[in-house]
Chain A
Amino acid sequence: MSDREPLLARVAGGDQEAVNACLNRFGNLVWSLARRFTDSRGDAEDAVQEIFIDLWSSAARYDGNKASETTFVAMLARRRLIDRLRKSKRQPEMEELSAAADFQQPDLHPDIALQDDADRAARLIRTLKPEQQQVIKLAVYEGHTHQSIADALQIPLGTVKTHLRRGLLKVREAMLMSDAKSGGGL
């Protein structure tokens, strides 16, 4: 089965082969996300199970005009993991703040092809001011709260929120400017 072949519509229709393929295609991505957002391997395993159960029941909601399948799966996974993190009241340890200049044009990922959506996001982020890039990376990728970012960067909380709001909106607009979504893995 091609990495680009759409799967979610078939998953929504109860196609077991598509369910297996979905797990093979997105398993590593979801597992890696879960490992980043949880304290232990056991918690990560529980979270991944929940995420895939959610995916099986949410697959019919996927709209290929809005995002790729990979982005949709990552969205479902992140949403559930953020909820779990919030309930546990755990905070990731503040790693050394990443220099905004560290953000490079991503190389092709070894497990998932870099998607159109991620590529557009990367290009868009590189046009933002360094402080905006830093806030977005800390909040979206490293999972820090807005308040902890404001404290660490010594900027007002309102500035953190504004950077996030504007940055994410720009990324969304860039994604929607795509001529056509493949609906598949890319």
Chain B
Amino acid sequence: MPNRVGDSEVLARDRLLDLLAARATEGLSAGESSELELALAGQRDLGADDLDLAAAAVYLAYDATCAKTETMPEALKLRILRPDMP
């Protein structure tokens, strides 16, 4: 039944991509995170971070267009650079 096997592979890949896209945009529930972890285990062509990186690049493209970047407060920088960090 090669077609059914093929269909199930397509469905599994679509589900994996849905989970990766959801994580990159609105986040996942604990159950979905576990499902994603299992789905990624057998993957060779898709990395766990692939769609998150794509979403980050898209964000940067829009951010550059909208130019809404704010300057980070100096006090916050100093707080992050405390001697116990990193």
Chains A and B belong together in one complex:
yes
Interface residues of A (CB under 8 A from B): 11, 14, 19-20, 23-24, 27-33, 35-36, 45, 48-49, 52-53, 56-57, 66-67, 70-72, 74-75, 78-79, 82-83, 85-86, 103-104, 106-112, 114-115, 117-122, 125, 136-137, 139-141, 145-146, 161, 164-165, 167-169, 171-172, 175
Assess the B72–A28 pair: CB atoms within 8 A: yes
Chain B residues with CB below 8 A from A125, complex form: 58, 61
Query: Could you say which of A19, A110, A120, A172 has the most chain B C-beta atoms within 10 Å of its C-beta?
Result: A172
Known: A85-B27, A145-B26. A164 touches B21 (CB 8 A): yes
Chain A residues with CB below 8 A from B53, complex form: 66-67, 71-72, 75, 117, 172, 175
Assess the A35–B24 pair: CB atoms within 8 A: no
Chain B residues with CB below 8 A from A11, complex form: 86
Determine the residue in chain A with the shortest Cβ distance to B80.
A52
Interface of A is mostly: helix
Closest chain A CB from B2 CB (angstroms)? 25
Chain B residues with CB below 8 A from A172, complex form: 50-51, 53-54
Interface residues of B (CB under 8 A from A): 14, 17-18, 20-27, 47, 49-73, 76-77, 79-81, 85-86
Assess the A23–B27 pair: CB atoms within 8 A: no
Known: A109-B64, A121-B61, A171-B54. A53 touches B86 (CB 8 A): yes
Q: Complex Cα distance A33/B56, Å?
A: 11
Assess the B79–A78 pair: CB atoms within 8 A: no
Chain B residues with CB below 8 A from A19, complex form: 81, 86
Assess the B25–A82 pair: CB atoms within 8 A: yes
Q: Complex Cα distance A85/B26, Å?
A: 9
Q: CB within 8 A of B25: which of A52, A115, A140? A: A140
Q: Complex Cα distance A18/B9, Å?
A: 45
